[in-house]
Structure 1
Amino acid sequence: MYTHHSPAAPTRDLRGTTDQSIPHLREALSSLEIKMASLMDERDELESRLAQAVRLQAPIQRLPSELLASIFTIGVLDMEEDSLMLSNLMLVCRYWSEVAVSTPVLWSRIVVSNHDSLDKAKRNLSRSKSVSLDVLISFSPKLESGSLTTETIVLAMDLLWPSTWRWKSFRLWVPNRAQAHAALQRCREQAPLLEVLQIRIHQSMQDDHHSLPPLPLFDGQAPRLRTCSLHSFNFGWDVSAIRGLRVLELGGYWNGFSPSVSVTLEILRACPELEELVLRNMSDVDADSCSMYDAEPHRDKRYPSHIIHLPRLVRASFYYAGIHRTRTIFSQLSFPALEKLELCYMDDVTTVLNHLKRQSLTSLPLRHLRIEASFFNEFELVKLLGRTLSLATLELVDVEDASSNLLKVRPFV
């Protein structure tokens, strides 16, 4: 059977046509790429707008600036040391940066040290407006550079002393006494807000006979001072300068710089609300200077008989503070709230244990007792343990007088 086939369509040869030439195709392809690039840019812009719209819907973006500033304050000021927290917050966005710059309390830490420049301190001082300040001047003796360090300390104090009226805390850590005195000579203005004073001289064994104590500090006007920590700084033992303290730390006093028993008792008498007492690394006093306190008060009116009452004293630490000084101080104190006591490198502490036992006749809620590298009468310790039923922790470190049967003996009350 014959089948009729229609003739096939002729094949067109495009190679010779004008509109399909190579330059034209290349131009068309380039035009298409331009359109695609334009569409990609448009897509990126739309994605950016979408992301911004999503961020604007987040709760953090709807916080008022006051609340955001409060969050920044908690996050930054809870850090013990100066950190990158504030800088990282300011890098998040322009709004956060503006909030941070306009929040004075975020800039209330003024630090000048081997790693913190004067320019940074000047910036913080300017941005802090009129809020209270925490001032730290810290230079390590390991990075001591002689006159350059002293010059930096003096320049820092020249920058900071006009703001003394709003200092809340002032910490000065320097290598030697000459640098401390050079700085404190500029602390003449009153400090009505000062609560914490800490002066630490690292090279405590070096004598300085050229600088007199810069007195009076802060014109003798620091009514809110509650915490005082002095290490190797001789302030002339002016009791009026540290009256009414809650925390007292004294340490690093050797030879003629160590306070006498009478000075120490006078300081304690001026701080009836004392809660923590630390005496550390002091040359001991002569036994003869303590004899007047050992005598019975009713036998001679010349001897002091007034017991110093410290009803809020909770923690006490005596670390290489001299056994004569320590036992004499305990003989003159009443401490009905004492909960933690440390006696370290104190020779024979039996007399101190006897004073603790005497205090237990009325009130002694002792919960933590640590005796390290000291001697004691084991029987006296056992009697004390029998009277302090509140004791939860007993630490005996590097002691030779504690036998293996110490805690097995029935306490004698």
Structure 2
Amino acid sequence: MDGVSSQLLHSNVPPTDEQSDYVRQLVLQRQQEALDLEEQYRITYAALLDIDARRKQNQRDIEVLGAVFAPIRRIPVELLAEIFQFCIPTLAGYDPNYRISDPCSVPIVLTRVCSVWREVAVNTPHLWTGLVLRLPNRHGNVNLPMVETLVHRSNPLPITVTIHSDQIGTSLYDQSTGALTILPAVFGIPQLVERVETLDINLFIRDIHHSLRQLPIPIFPALQTLILHLGKGQHWRRTLATFLEFFGYSPVKNIISNMSSVAPNEW
């Protein structure tokens, strides 16, 4: 502030015409300076944003380039395959919601990291030997081409298959014929039938024994363990007996049921 404006601001004396013109010019001058400062601020702020963006991009580049020296890149593929196997859930920690065909399951995720990991995962049969088919919808549909692909990847190892459904009712049946649709579809995959060593069936379905008797009896030449989790309905004994008859031509050594334990020589 100059002397004239300061004097006017600190007193109640009305300005003269000359002083009024002077103050008006001073206001216009300050307004122009404010516009100039606003423009300088905009330019400077934009420059700071640009510098900050380049700084962050530079940091990302450093991190990306640093990944080239990551120890895992130098691990032999044989050891990498061994490491991958520790990521797979075991039967002891079986989660009925886990599905190997799920896009978020461990084996599938490993195939999507990079081309090297995909090749290692696809060519490591141990990653694909635990096949859990959790029926996802009311029709009991299963993506059979996907199942065939996963079974092929486990070749030539024996496999463990779990067929799981917590739905009670007729959801696994063909509505027109009443026939059970899921079991013949899955059991129609030759490689699966030939190499399944452990079969875990979790089906809580009413009157399943009626449809089982309509199906051709399959022979599982490698089947060693049969695990049956069946609904505790009024016909559970008949259902259990039907399952035992259904698998009676396979060389099963261990049979585990939520109803009772059954020795093969007691069939």
Name the TM-score class by shorter chain.
Answer: 0.5 to 0.7
- The answer to whether the aligner puts 1:134 opposite 2:160 as a matched pair is yes
When the two structures are superposed, what TM-score results if normalisation uses the length of structure 1?
0.42
The CA deviation at 1:73 is 1.8
Q: Judge conservation of contact 1:171–1:198 (CA < 8 Å) in 2.
A: yes
Structure 1 residue runs of 5 or longer lacking an equivalent are 1-12, 234-248, 252-263, 269-413
The CA deviation at 1:113 is 4.2
1:144 — aligned with what?
A: 168
Paired residue type of 1:126: T
Name whichever structure is richer in helix by fraction: 2
Q: Judge conservation of contact 1:201–1:231 (CA < 8 Å) in 2.
A: yes
When the two structures are superposed, what TM-score results if normalisation uses the length of structure 2?
0.60
1:295 — aligned with what?
A: none
- 1:190 match: secondary structure: coil
- 2:220 match: secondary structure: coil
Q: Judge conservation of contact 2:162–2:200 (CA < 8 Å) in 1.
A: yes
Q: Judge conservation of contact 1:113–1:139 (CA < 8 Å) in 2.
A: yes
Paired residue type of 1:94: V
Q: Judge conservation of contact 2:133–2:142 (CA < 8 Å) in 1.
A: no
Q: What whole-Å deviation, never above 9, does each CA across 1:67-115 have from its counterpart, x for those lacking one? A: 3332222221435214669737528972287368625543433334466
Cα 1:181–1:99 change in 2 (3 A) is farther
2:131 — aligned with what?
A: 110
1:160 — aligned with what?
A: 186
Q: What whole-Å deviation, never above 9, does each CA across 1:20-65 have from its counterpart, x for those lacking one? A: 8544443333222222222222111111121223333232343344
Percent identity over the alignment? 15
The CA deviation at 1:160 is 1.0
- 2:207 match: secondary structure: helix
Q: Judge conservation of contact 2:202–2:230 (CA < 8 Å) in 1.
A: yes
Name whichever structure is richer in strand by fraction: 1
CA distance in structure 1 between the aligned counterparts of 2:242 and 2:46, rounded to whole angstroms = 80
- The answer to whether the aligner puts 1:72 opposite 2:99 as a matched pair is no
Cα 1:71–1:99 change in 2 (3 A) is farther
Q: Judge conservation of contact 2:223–2:250 (CA < 8 Å) in 1.
A: no
Between the two proteins, the alignment pairs up a number of residues equal to 220
Structure 2 residue runs of 5 or longer lacking an equivalent are 1-25
CA distance in structure 2 between the aligned counterparts of 1:123 and 1:203, rounded to whole angstroms = 32
The CA deviation at 1:227 is 1.9
CA distance in structure 2 between the aligned counterparts of 1:119 and 1:210, rounded to whole angstroms = 23
2:113 — aligned with what?
A: 94
Cα 1:118–1:135 change in 2 (3 A) is farther
The CA deviation at 1:118 is 4.0
The 5-angstrom pairing of residues 14-413 of structure 1 reads 21-78=33-90, 80-82=93-95, 87=104, 90=109, 94-95=113-114, 98=118, 102=122, 103-113=124-134, 118-119=141-142, 123-131=146-154, 132-140=158-166, 143-145=167-169, 147-151=170-174, 154-161=180-187, 162=189, 163-175=192-204, 178-180=207-209, 182-183=211-212, 186=215, 188-203=217-232, 205-206=234-235, 213=242, 217=246, 220-222=249-251, 225-230=252-257, 249-250=261-262, 267=265
Cα 1:231–1:37 change in 2 (3 A) is closer
CA distance in structure 1 between the aligned counterparts of 2:214 and 2:83, rounded to whole angstroms = 38
